[in-house]
A and B are shown apart, each in its own frame.
Chain A
């Protein structure tokens, strides 16, 4: 479904990614893990056209999307929940969701999607009128995911969905991802919470210093010593 080939990119002089290739298949949950600064976010940003790739290509549904503008990708069905959430803080929850459905023209389809998303996050239904700026971290994350789902995405990309959340909220977020998985939504996930991530991921890539260091099935990696060392720095 999504294919990244030999991607290299960076910011001004600084090259961040080196020859990264990865694949996401239909209805898969693929995790991308690795220590901070390894370039995970940069991969996502270059898939989404926010960072322009220097070399290599990105293919989505068989089409070459390298260097396309972000909003076009969104229309093609790529939804991206960023690390910063990028919510519209001065808008209400409902308006944020409305914006999420910006590309949907048909009222009927829109309502259907909205009902579906609200059924996933009943909490948002209660807070419809609340401003995004006044919500707690967990609620904001939920809203960010919900807004992305309003696109009815073919592929949902999540960047650190549990960042800064309290344990209860982390549970809620992971439950939501599990639910999406059960409904055959394709998900690409970047996470710090390695254990939880690997538990739900079908496959995972480990990124170290800008290139792919390991690739494998989620459960295989779960008990890998190398990963633990990498994170805690025990040599």
Chain B
């Protein structure tokens, strides 16, 4: 039994079924990729895991415990941290304060000084600017680093990454894959939603593919690239006529 399991999770918005009957099993220390075309329900699934939404059906288990009914902050306390597709930061706080929020409130008690933790995490993600810059002055890439540092500062066991790579240059992508591996090596399990195949194929141990809210494939990167269904979902079927 893995660290995180979703069992038949279904989430609807009005008439639209965003996630349909999805079951996943993520093992400890895995980097688990979640891919699929735009609008396939990847982010909704992440939100259902992290407590932003409550799924209508199905359950989410973390370390064997049912976390489905918990609120976002409680889930964070259990050890699941996340980043957002559209970066969420606290614009009028300094970089350090932003990360400290994660360290103070997300972490389990009796840890070291939040400031130290925050600084450590900022260094860990190689944050390039002064720590007393305001978050509103950062560019998107720096914000993503900031958000990642904040998530890590919660001392999580599971990290949910939602499109961290969007807009990065190839050099930066390499750096990011290294970073993701380093995070994994520090003992954190990762689930990442990503469009950039290069990155996903490079770092993931296992990948699940969503299309129209349903899981259409799961396997190693190799298996996924060879899967006909996946190719069709991505490049589109050739015209039948």
Contacts and interface: CB of A to CB of B under 8 A. Distances in A.
A196 B238 CA distance: 6
A235 B40 CA distance: 25
Contacts of B198: 233, 235
A233 B199 contact: yes
A37 B139 contact: no
Given A11-B140, A13-B138, A233-B202, A163 B236 contact: no
Interface in A1-55: 11-14, 16, 35-37
B167 interface: yes
A192 interface: yes
Contact of A199 (B40, B168, B212, B238): B238
Interface in B192-207: 195-202
A232 B141 contact: no
Interface string A209-235: 100000000000000000010111111
Given A14-B140, A163-B37, A166-B212, A228 B166 contact: no
A167 interface: yes
Secondary structure dominating the interface of B:
loop
B167 A37 contact: yes
A231 B199 CA distance: 11
A194 interface: yes
Contact of B38 (A192, A194, A199): A192
Interface residues of A, number: 33
A232 B234 CA distance: 8
Given A16-B167, A37-B196, A235-B198, A195 B237 contact: yes
Interface string A148-162: 000000000000101
Contacts of A170: 236
Interface in B212-240: 212, 225, 231, 234-239
A174 interface: yes
Interface in B152-191: 165-170
Contacts of B2: none
B236 A233 contact: no
Nearest to B140: A14
B225 A192 contact: no
B39 interface: yes
B166 A36 contact: yes
A164 interface: yes
Nearest to B237: A167
A184 interface: no
B211 to A, nearest CB: 10
A11 B15 CA distance: 34
Nearest to A135: B15
A232 B225 contact: yes
B196 to A, nearest CB: 6
A36 B39 CA distance: 13
A69 interface: no
A193 B139 contact: no
21 contacts: A12-B140, A13-B138, A13-B139, A13-B140, A35-B196, A37-B167, A37-B195, A37-B196, A137-B16, A137-B39, A162-B236, A163-B38, A170-B236, A195-B238, A199-B239, A209-B169, A230-B197, A231-B197, A232-B225, A233-B202, A235-B202
Interface of A: 11-14, 16, 35-37, 134, 137, 160, 162-164, 166-167, 170, 174, 192-197, 199, 209, 228, 230-235
Q: Which 5 A-B residue pairs are closest in the complex by CB-CB distance?
A: A233-B197, A164-B39, A193-B236, A13-B139, A36-B195
